[in-house]
Amino acid sequence: MFRTLASLSLLVVLFVGCDDSYGTPSANQQAQTADPNSTIAVTATVGMVGDLVRTIGGDRVDVTQICGSGVDPHLYKATRDDVQAMMSADLIVYSGLMLEGKMTDTLIKMARHKPVIAVTEAIDETMLLEPDDFAGHYDPHVWMDVAAWSQCVDVIADELSAFDPLFEPAYRERAHALREKLADLDEYGKSVIATIPEGGRILVTSHDAFGYFGRAYGLKVLGIQGISTDSEAGLQRINTLVDLLVEQNVKSVFVESSVPRKSVDSLVEGAKSRGHHVSVGEKELFSDAMGESGTYEGTYIGMLDHNLTVVARGLGGEAPADGFQGKLSE
């Protein structure tokens, strides 16, 4: 199901090397620069990546996003419309690290014809997690650590600037402003999670999307399913987690917007049968998809602000209900 790191790097080489082998122009070649009179068509796989492009590209870019709100990118297969959007795009941007596992073949094919960029390529490898039960692979959910994800900002600015040099100053300026905002959000996250009583900093969610979140903000994180959502949680895993909930007196578990809540319900039931009451966080967390487009939670900053605020409050910490800049819906 998952490729090894060795074949992952082969994939990277393919993406980087394909321009030479197929003789097609890359974003760095003059031949393929943007027409200043028309917008740049960018296709992005997931919302977190699309949002980076929209924020940095401003009104110069027209972003088509493949996975919308509530869609699970681990399982998503590109439709004919998606392939069409990729064919007509000037640039394709995706997250990488095998997050979009079932779109890999399509992305490789597209890379023969146009720049296809994995934003996580820019992240310092020392910041990537390689979980024990996912040996040989990096955990793809890097956006959950705001500081790590902010390393992807300049990749977008670089690619847009190469393709559209006339507007480079605007891209650089927006990228700089975004990095500053992300630094503020990261600080906010650290401070609100730190208000959770020490024994209560345990985050139980549907699947292992929060490893980076836990590392960045100081929570022990346990997922019912594994790193990907393509395997069902076993009974044994449920029982282990029920034991832990009872032993550690964990009061709340959380549901994710892009993963069915069935497995979380079986945890709650299991704990109940042992006489321990666990509540399900009243608001869903955003793991692999952002909130509805057009809302604050439908932006990357809003998504993380929501997660940090909801987790802090749900586990007994203190955080303003409307988040770090007063924009969360309460």
Shortest CB 294 distance to Zn ion, Å: 24
Instruction: Give yes or no for residue 66 binding Zn ion (CB under 5 A).
Output: no
Window 201-240: contact mask with Zn ion (x via CB under 5 A): --------x-------------------------------
Closest separation between CB of residue 288 and Zn ion, Å? 4
DSSP single-letter state for residue 183: H
Binding mask 267-306 for Zn ion (x = CB under 5 A): ---------------------x------------------
Neighbouring C-beta atoms of residue 41, cutoff 10 Å: 17
Q: How far apart are CA 13 and CA 132, in angstroms?
A: 26
Contact between residue 54 and residue 39 where contact means Cβ atoms under 8 Å apart: no
Q: Which is nearer to Zn ion, 215 or 327 (CB)?
A: 215
d(CA 202, CA 133): 19
Q: How far is the CB of 285 from Zn ion (least distance, A)?
A: 12
Instruction: Provide, rounded to whole angstroms, the least separation between the CB of residue 129 and Zn ion.
Output: 13
Return the closest-CA partner of residue 122 out of 94, 99, 144, 100: 94
CB of 82 or CB of 288, closer to Zn ion: 288
Pick between residue 161 and residue 287 the one whose CB is nearest to Zn ion.
Answer: 287
Report in angstroms how near the CB of residue 162 gets to Zn ion at its nearest.
Answer: 30
Which lies closer to Zn ion via its Cβ, residue 34 or residue 98? Answer: 98
CB-nearer residue toward Zn ion: 101 or 302: 101
Is residue 296 within 8 A of residue 327, CB to CB? The reply is: yes
**Which residues face 253 on adjacent strands?**
280
Output the smallest distance, CB 190 to Zn ion, in A. 23
Nearest-angstrom CA–CA distance, 325 and 18: 43
One-character DSSP codes across 221-257? EEEEE-SSSSSPPPHHHHHHHHHHHHHTT--EE--BT
Nearest to 228 by CA among 204, 209, 255, 210: 209
Q: Site size for Zn ion, by CB under 5 A?
A: 2
The closest of 16, 1, 216, 226 to 98, measured between CA atoms, is 1
15/76 with CB nearer Zn ion: 76
Q: At 205, is the secondary structure helix, strand, or coil?
A: strand
**Which residues are at the interface with Zn ion (CB under 5 A)?**
209, 288
